[in-house]
Amino acid sequence: MESMTLPQPAGAEPSPDAALIAAWQGGDEQAAAELVRRHARALAQFVAGAGVPEAELEDVVQETFIRAFRALGGFRGQCRFRTWLLAIGANVARDQGRRAARQHVVPLDDRILDRGGTPHELAEAGEAVTRLASGLRKLSRLQREVFLLRAQQGLEYAEIAAALNTSPGAARVHYHHAVKRLKELVE
């Protein structure tokens, strides 16, 4: 990545964020970690105030930083880095809200599992859950992530592609292969 100098008022010293941004663009991963450390709490407070449920705060904050670091080349310093980051956070929170409004994901945890049935049926169901978990571990990282984003989170292929830095077509192929492999492993 090439280094970028942010505009500063005449006679002003570069902000610590500007120095960290330049260092990160020069390949210093610790600079990115420091930017996250400096701004994550404020970002989380902001998006929580914007209505993001507590259970989703970490995901929204993480997605905000992912988007920000991908778009950092477009940051020209017309505002503080934190202001720019909060604007991205607002967009991520809105996107999350729209996704939540479109779908209802039901978690498969102990609170909703049907405890009815014969002991044999319960044992078979437990074995199927174990086989599925084992099968997921046997998938490649990308297949597992695509499968979980699609089947568990209900994301569209374009969203999966953006999250995993791939194409929608590749996401479809990975999902198809994951489903096929899981069927083989679970049956």
Q: What is the pLDDT of residue 172?
A: 92
pLDDT greater than 70 at residue 9: no
The pLDDT of 136-161, averaged and rounded, is: 80
What's the token pair of residue 108?
């498969």
Which CA distances in Å does 42 have to 6, 67, 75, 148? Answer: 22, 17, 19, 29
pLDDT greater than 80 at residue 108: no
Placement of tokens 């259970």 in the chain? 55
Which residue, among 128, 108, 131, 112, has the nearest Cα to 120 in the 3D structure?
128
Which residue, among 80, 83, 87, has the nearest Cα to 12 in the 3D structure?
80
Domains of the chain are 16-102 (1.10.1740.10), 119-186 (1.10.10.10)
Q: What is the pLDDT of residue 175?
A: 92
Q: Give the pTM.
A: 0.50
What's the token pair of residue 171?
């996401």
Q: What is the pLDDT of residues 79-96, one digit of tens each?
A: 788 888 888 988 898 888
Q: What is the pLDDT of residue 99?
A: 78
pLDDT greater than 80 at residue 152: no
